[in-house]
Chain A
Amino acid sequence: GAGVSQSPSNKVTEKGKDVELRCDPISGHTALYWYRQRLGQGLEFLIYFQGNSAPDKSGLPSDRFSAERTGESVSTLTIQRTQQEDSAVYLCASSPHGGTGELFFGEGSRLTVL
């Protein structure tokens, strides 16, 4: 596709359930980032992929959060046993080479945990 695609765009779940968020980066982009943005707040780094490996996963807030990337393309962010504080917009971005390149963001997945 022309841009970064994220799904679902909106997800409402009950506390304790697991959720999976998907990101389709721009074709050929080797770098992929996940960020969390709480309402009215700035972007909070979660994890960075270069190809299929994750050289920096320091931003994952707890072991309930995990992410993987396969085939240097699609990435999934999984949140297990969701809590209300997980409610936020999860933004994915890709970049041609990573490092200092321009980020191309998706529209985000809005997660609401009841």
Chain B
Amino acid sequence: KNQVEQSPQSLIILEGKNCTLQCNYTVSPFSNLRWYKQDTGRGPVSLTIMTFSENTKSNGRYTATLDADTKQSSLHITASQLSDSASYICVVSRQTGANNLFFGTGTRLTVIP
């Protein structure tokens, strides 16, 4: 069964601290993995995409990793800011199928001053 599991479900950190969000998947055959950021009351926005051959990719203070062997990805946020408070959604694409996108339920991050 194609599934995407994210952890933790929610996280509260102090401004300036780092944090790491996890995404485990069983989607096969794997095509790519994207992390989206969803601010409260807004639609999700893509942060980064990881393909099979990529291990690490950075986008400013966001760094995503992918281990295609263990089917795990992480999103590391460095020097968190209040504006990082949002839900972070992991979406895994499968190579085949009409609708081949599988969503995690997200991690709700709250950054407090």
Using a CB–CB distance below 8 Å, which chain A residues touch chain B?
4, 33, 41-43, 45, 48, 50, 55-56, 58-59, 91, 93, 99-100, 102-103, 105-108
Closest chain B residue, CB of each to CB of A101: B93
Q: Is the interface of A mostly helix, strand, loop or mixed?
A: loop
Please tell me if the beta carbons of A45 and B103 are within 8 angstroms of each other in the complex: yes
Per the bound structure, the CA–CA distance linking A106 and B32 in Å amounts to 22
Pairs A–B under 8 Å by Cβ, sample size 9:
A33-B101, A43-B44, A48-B99, A58-B99, A100-B101, A103-B44, A103-B91, A105-B44, A107-B41
CB pair B101–A103 under 8 Å, yes or no, is yes
Interchain CB contact under 8 A, B46 and A42: no
Name the residue in A56, A59, A99, A107 with the highest tally of chain B Cβ atoms < 10 Å from its Cβ.
A99
User: Is A102 a contact of B103 with CB atoms below 8 Å?
Assistant: no
Q: Which residues of B approach A to under 8 Å, CB–CB?
A: 31-32, 34, 36, 41-46, 49, 89, 91, 93, 95, 97-101, 103-106
In the bound complex, CA of A106 to CA of B34 (Å)? 18
Q: A43 to B103, Cβ gap below 8 A? A: yes
Which among B36, B41, B98, B103 is the interface contact of A48 at CB below 8 angstroms? B98
If A41-B105, A42-B103, A48-B99 touch, does A106 touch B43 (CB 8 Å cutoff)?
Answer: yes
- A residues near B89, Cβ cutoff 8 Å: 42-43
Taking CB atoms, residues of chain B closer than 8 Å to A50 are 98
10 extra A-B contacts, CB within 8 A, seeds A42-B89, A58-B99, A103-B44: A41-B105, A42-B103, A42-B105, A43-B103, A56-B98, A59-B99, A100-B32, A100-B93, A103-B101, A107-B41
